[in-house]
Structure formats: C-alpha cells, structure tokens
Structure 1
Amino acid sequence: MKDKKNFKLLILFCLIFSISLTYPKISKGNEQTTEKRLNEISNNVRCLVCRNQSIYDSNSDFANDIKKIIIIHLKDNKSDEFIYKFLKSKYGEYILFKPPFQINTLILWILPFILIISGLIFFTFKFLKFRKND
C-alpha cells in the first residue's frame, strides 16, 4: 500500500517537474510573438506628434503611451484588427499609415490609375498625330 502511494507521488512529482520545464519555453514563445505583433502594429500606426513617423520609429511620449496601450491589448489576446479599430476610434483614421479602402476614400485609390491611363492615352494620340503630320 505504501509503495503505491510512493509511486503515485513520484508520478505526480514527475508531471509537475515536466510542466515546469516546458513553461518557460511557452512563455518565451508568447513574448516573442507579442513583440513581433507589437512591432508590426507599431510600424502601421502614425505618431501624431512627429512628422510622418511611425510610433515604432518615434521616441516621443505619445508614441510610448500608444505602445503601452497596444501591449495591454496584446496581453488581453485582442486581435490586430481590434487594436486598429480601437486606435482609429480614439484618434481618427489619420493615425493609420494605410487607410482602409472605403467609399469615401475611393477617389484616393482610383485617381492615380485614372491619371496614368489618361496620360498614356494623351501621349499616344499626340505621338500618332505627330507621325501622321510627318
């Protein structure tokens, strides 16, 4: 009877010991993932104090505060999309370096293509007219 009890304690000790060995690896992996996500999000968020600089590149107090907010959300297992929406609701769309495609920003996305195509058509007709006159 005593041997069974000792055997159970030995197994319990082995389980606890094996879990404690794997825990730092899991924790370190989560920290690396969190750091990677923080860097990615920070590169896509504009520092409102600095000129055209991401909060990743900025050392301003504002950038550090935003990084702290992002870290809190990451530790709460919030998605990147949630964090972007949160920042956008608090500071406006200007805080995002890459504005989302929306109807009200449609002209910003289409205008460069329209200008390039118009320019190509214009120069093609000018070139054809020039060759026809020769």
Structure 2
Amino acid sequence: MSFKRALASILMVYLAASSFSLSLAKDAAPLADDPVMEQRLIAISEEMRCLVCQNESLAGSRSDLANDLRREIRNLIQEGKTDEQIRSFMVERYGDFVLYRPPVKPITWFLWVGPFIILLAGIVGLLVYLRRRNQSIPSATLSDEDNRRIDALLKTAASNSRESAHD
C-alpha cells in the first residue's frame, strides 16, 4: 500500500513540475521589432555559418553563440551599417569560415580545394593498397598433371549432368 502511495506522490510532483514549466514557455520572440529589419537580419544571417553547429546557418541555429551573433547583427543594423559592412565585421572578427561561401583567395584555397585533395588522396591510397595486396598474393601455376586431372573431372561432371538430364 505504501508503494502505491509513494508512486502517486511522485506522479503528482512530476505533473506539477511539468505544468509549471509549460506555464513559463513563451512564443518565439521576433528577431527585430521592425519587419524590414527582421527580413534584413534573416537574409544576412542565412549567408553565415553557425560557428558551433557548423552545418547550420546562423538564422537556423538555436545555439547560444548564434543567438549572440544575431543580436550583434541586429545592433549593427540599428547602427545603420550596410550589409557589406556587417559581413566585413563578422569576417574580421571570426574569419572567412563564418561565411557559407568564403571568397576564393590564398587563405581560403584549402576550403575550396581541400575536399578534392582529400578525395584524390583516398583514391591514390586505395589504388596503392590494392596493387600491394595483389602483389602479395602468390600466383599458382598448375603443372601438366594438375591440368589433366582438372580436364578429367570436368569431363566426368559433364557426362554426369548429361545423364541426369536424360532421366
């Protein structure tokens, strides 16, 4: 009986805690008060990479750093900075990696060419491995006696299959 009472108490505490947390939930706040500013903020942040997630845009990420960077972009928009000035500020602060399409220049060549170099290295490595593996397997040459035995076995198998087919 006490087990049921304890279980009921735990369940009541859980329900109370979850209903309290639901009451604190809020709708997503708009990124900016002005709809034009919000559209501009979204357009700029979609061109930038979240430095934490690295696979999401700044607009789509919900990490704390992404929230801070969007807040920083919002402040720069409110200060009257152009989109290019904002991009330059972000690149100056976080490097070209913050852009989804970093410019092609000597510092970013590896970002553009790196995946192809890695692919090429993988293919070369695979070819070297296969060539070494093939060379390490000894090739067996059959003697004339072995060839005669194989021919005899093949003739026996062929005649047995013909006999089975007639039955």
* Bin of the TM-score, shorter chain as denominator length: 0.5 to 0.7
* TM-score under structure 1 length normalisation: 0.54
- Please tell me whether residue 95 in structure 1 is matched to residue 120 in structure 2: no
Q: Which structure would you say has the larger RCO, counting Cα contacts within 8 Å and 6 or more residues apart? A: 1
Give, in angstroms, the shift of residue 77 of structure 1.
0.9
- Residues 105-131 of structure 1 show CA distances to partners (whole Å, capped at 9, x for unaligned) of 56838xx9xxxxxxxxxxxxxxxxxxx
Query: Using the alignment, how far apart are the partners of 1:105 and 1:53 within structure 2?
Result: 20
Report the alpha carbon displacement of residue 55 of structure 1 after superposing the two structures with TM: 1.2
TM-score by length of 2: 0.44
Match of 1:34 in 2: 37
Aligned twin of 2:87: 84
Aligned to 1:15: none
Gaps of 5+ in 2: 1-32, 117-167
Other-structure match for 2:144: none
Which residue of structure 1 aligns with residue 69 of structure 2?
66
C-alpha distance in 2, partners of 1:103/1:92? 14
Q: CA deviation at 1:69?
A: 0.3
State, as a whole percentage, how many aligned pairs show the same letter: 37
Greater displacement, 97-106 / 72-81: 97-106
* Distance across 1 between alignment mates of 2:104 and 2:39: 25
Sort the Cα spacing of 1:60 and 1:82 in 2 relative to 1 into closer, same or farther, 3 A.
Answer: same
Q: Which stretch shifts more, 95-104 or 77-86?
A: 95-104
CA contact (8 A) 2:49 2:97 kept: yes
Deviations 1:49-69 (A, max 9, x none): 113111111100000000000
Larger Rg: 2
1:1-134 to structure 2, matched below 5 A, reads 31-102=34-105, 105=108, 108=112
The Cα offsets for residues 75-94 of structure 1, whole Å up to 9 and x where unpaired, read as 01100101111011111110
The one-letter amino acid paired with 1:56 is A
Gap runs ≥5 in structure 1 = 1-29, 113-134
Letter matched to residue 93 of structure 2: K
Deviation, 1:33, is 1.6
